[in-house]
Amino acid sequence: MVKNLSVNLCGVQLDNPVIPASGTFGFGEEMAKVYDLDVLGSISIKGTTRDARFGNPTPRIAECSSGMINAVGLQNPGIDAVIAHELPQLRKVFHKPIIANISGFSIEEYQECCAKIDGQEQVEIIEVNVSCPNVHNGGMAFGTQPESAAAVTRAVKEVTTKPVFIKLSPNVTDIVSIARACEEAGADGVTLINTMLGMRIDIARRRPVIANKMGGFSGRAIFPVAVRMVYQVAQACHIPIIGCGGVASAEDVVEMMMAGASAVQVGAENLRNPFACKEIIEQLPDVMERLGIERLSDIIGAVK
């Protein structure tokens, strides 16, 4: 029997739950030469800010056991260039709903960018990255306190019409309180988790491997943390969750969905295997068959 892989995120129907995570797929241009992007459920595009950003000095990357650290620093051409160049280019090679990932360093910047991207027909979901430092509050990341996460959510909801997913940072004491604050502030969903703050040291040179000293740890190693946080939030909230963090196989997709995710993002795995998302989608029907799953959406939150 043909397996049903489709899932629904706040009324946005995806043919399957597999989405390349923001920052691990660019704006699709390079990957469109690697495989037909229309096999994907959606694409979360490279994190976009109001102004063009070069990001951090290099080295920006460090290898870790079963993972990696990156400190790219939100390199992107800025919201206007994304709308003028990247989205039209992506439209030529990808014909499905797009998730626009937006970052900001102030509430006003989030609002301005989200309002602009909300007007783009191709964009069906807005994903708000609250892991950036708030320049008006001593650089504390918006996503590390329930109040500031809620403030961003409310501000963005005021100026948008499309579903807003808040992408949460795992670098917090209580992920549930932050997810709840976002839900109460009007978030339509949450994406979790962003990268975990990490660091590597070059012991021969006695200095950090990464120029920025610290960076975001991602890859297979963080998968159990992501599953745990998705599960905790799913138990406490009623809005859909996009699970993200260390997903590398069709089995991981099923596990993340059983924990409570309605869709799943694949991040660092794309960097080591450019075909990762495509292969996971191809393997899903066999894994479903083995596990006796006919409709993938039936297993969302199966673990109580």
Partner 1 sequence: MKRVILEIESNRALTPLVYEMRLTGDTSEITRAGSFVEISLDGLFLRRPISVCDFDEGRLTLVYKVVGKGTEQMAALKAGTRLDVLTGLGNGFDSAQCSQHALLVGGGVGVPPLYRLTRDLVAQGKRVSVVLGFNTQQEIFYAEEFERAGANVIIATADGSTGIKGFVTDAIRESDIDFDYFYSCGPLPMLKALCEATDRPGEVSLEERMGCGFGICMGCSIQTASGAKRVCKEGPVFKKEDVIW
Q: Is 134:176 a contact under the CB 8 Å cutoff? A: no
Instruction: Check binding of 67 to partner 1 (CB under 8 A).
Output: yes
Q: How near is the Cβ of 277 to partner 1 at its closest, in Å?
A: 12
Strands 164-167, 123-129: pairing is parallel
66 — alpha (psi -120 to 50), left (phi > 0) or beta?
A: left
> Nearest approach, Cβ of 269 to partner 1 (angstroms)?
9
* C-alpha–C-alpha distance, residues 244 and 192, integer Å: 5
What is the per-residue binding string for partner 1 in 167-196, x denoting contact by CB under 8 A?
Answer: ------------------------------
- 198 pairs with which residues across the strands? 215
Residues 243-272 interacting with partner 1 (rule: CB under 8 A): 268, 270-272
Q: Is 132 a catalytic residue?
A: yes
Name the one range near partner 1 by CB under 8 A: 59-67, 125-133, 142-150, 152-160.
59-67
Contact region with partner 1 (CB under 8 A), list: 8-16, 50-58, 98-106, 133-141:
50-58
Does residue 222 belong to the site contacting partner 1 (CB under 8 A)?
A: no
What's the CA angle centered on 20, arms 104 and 105, to 5 degrees?
5
Q: Which two tokens stand for residue 220?
A: 């297979």
For 47: left if phi > 0, alpha if psi spans -120 to 50, otherwise beta; the answer is beta
Is residue 34 a contact residue for partner 1 (CB under 8 A)?
A: yes
- 274 binds partner 1, rule: CB under 8 A: yes
State the Cα–Cα distance between residues 26 and 23, nearest whole angstrom. Answer: 6
Question: Which is catalytic among the residues 10, 113, 114, 132?
Answer: 132
The CA radius of gyration of the chain, in Å to the nearest whole number, is: 18
Active site residues: 132
Query: For binding to partner 1 (CB under 8 A), which residues are involved?
Result: 23-26, 30-31, 33-34, 46, 54-55, 58-68, 70, 72, 75, 219-220, 268, 270-275
